[in-house]
Amino acid sequence: MNMNYISFEYPWFVLLLFGIIYCLYRCKEYSKTKYFVHLHLMRTKRSFKNIEWIIKILIFILLVIALASPILIDKTNPLNRYGKDILLAIDASGSMNSSGFVKEDDDEQLKGKSRFEVTKFIAKEFIQKRSSDNVGVVLFGDFAFIASPITYEKEIVSEMLELLTQGMAGQNTAIGEAISIGTRAFEYSKSKSKVLILLSDGEHNSGSISVKEAVAKAIKKGIKIYTIAIGKKGEADEALLMKVALESGGHFYYASNAKELKKVYDNIDTLEDSKIKSRQYLVKEYWYEIFLLLALALLIYLSYREIKR
């Protein structure tokens, strides 16, 4: 489907066309009287059939269009996607290596995989659905790091997810660090909507930054936090995760297995509609020069005819 369309930077100038065309056709032309025996032989009919009048009208039309500044907008350009900036903060602590997260009626592809591998698989599905969004990934354990900066290139984010392994950030759970590093990942974000989705199956027990301090910084930056507790009841600090979500304007979820986790991401996908429009991010190709050059070419042609006459 063609995603390009033409618009005008200053569309009100187009209204001038009607007045100019009417005036050119109806307004009287005054000229100095000349005396010549056969003056009638030099007269030309003043109508739209007269080529000079057609050219004059075209010149004015082209100039007005140039003033209106026609632009071509390519909506297939990644810079013209108006979605949200979403960051996935994924727990990679020792407990995420546990099995038993996949039930018998779950997806066959997930059977036998650890919580961490299942989480990565479902996260990739979620990322691919967010067609108009920028997405990034933070991994956390004893510490947190940005595994993939927030970007529109979904394939790169998915490939980076494949390279992540459980334990590569340590065996503990630094939720405060995850939120803090996640907030830092939004440093250059221009999106009006910033969403951090934090998933964990443990309790905050590591890192130099408290959860309270990290959440305060995130709220100050306008970041909404969705929290997801996974695993058996009581493994994750559900009370803490719920408080983080409520304070930041997000939602708290609990998933005991892969099927429930899929539903959680589907619910977030529904709540966070990606269709946000903001003209300031439009990439425009200006065409006014073309119309100015055409008008200039016609003006030169008229001048040439006048000189020859």
Distance linking the first and last C-alpha atoms of the chain: 52
Quickly list DSSP for 89-124.
Answer: EEE-SGGGG----S-TTS-GGGTT--HHHHHHHHHH
Q: Report the alpha-carbon distance of residue 174 to residue 93 in Å, rounded.
A: 9
Are the CB atoms for 129 and 192 separated by under 8 Å?
Answer: no
- Closest by CA position to 250, among listed 210, 230, 212, 222: 222
Query: Looking at residues 175-191, what average pLDDT do you find?
Result: 94
Helices (H) and strands (E) in the chain — how many of each? 9, 9
**For residue 53, pLDDT beyond 90:** no
Q: Which of 84, 17, 104 is nearest to 275 (CA)?
A: 84
Q: Tell me what the mean pLDDT of segment 97-124 comes to.
A: 88
Q: Is 27 exposed, middle or buried (0-12, 13-18, 19+ CB in 10 A)?
A: exposed
Of 67 and 250, more confident: 250
3-state secondary structure 176-243: HHHHHHHHHHCCCCCCCCEEEEEEECCCCCCCCCCHHHHHHHHHHCCEEEEEEEECCCCCCCHHHHHH
- Whole-number CA gyration radius for the chain: 32
| Model pLDDT for residues 246-305, shown as the tens digit of each residue | 999 999 999 999 999 999 999 999 888 765 444 444 556 777 788 888 888 888 888 877
For the record, the structure tokens of 79 come out as: 């810079």
* CA–CA distance, 65 with 68 (Å, rounded to integer): 5
Q: Which residue is it, tokens 């979500």?
A: 245
Q: Which residue intervals of the chain bear CATH 3.40.50.410?
A: 81-278
Residue 138 has pLDDT above 80, yes or no: yes
Model confidence pLDDT, tens digit, residues 16-27: 766 666 676 666
- Class of 81-278 per CATH? alpha beta
Q: How far is CA 228 from the centre of its chain?
A: 25
Whether the model clears a pTM of 0.75, i.e. scores above it, the answer is no
Contacts of residues 103-109 at CB distance under 8 Å and 24 or more positions apart, as own/partner, are 103/257, 103/258, 103/259, 105/259, 106/257, 106/258, 106/259, 107/258
Q: What is the pLDDT of residue 75?
A: 53
d(CA 42, CA 135): 73
Instruction: Check whether 59 has a pLDDT greater than 90.
Output: no
Q: How many CB atoms lie within 10 A of CB 89?
A: 28
The side-by-side arrangement of strands in the sheet containing 252-255 is 144-151, 134-140, 85-91, 194-200, 223-230, 252-255
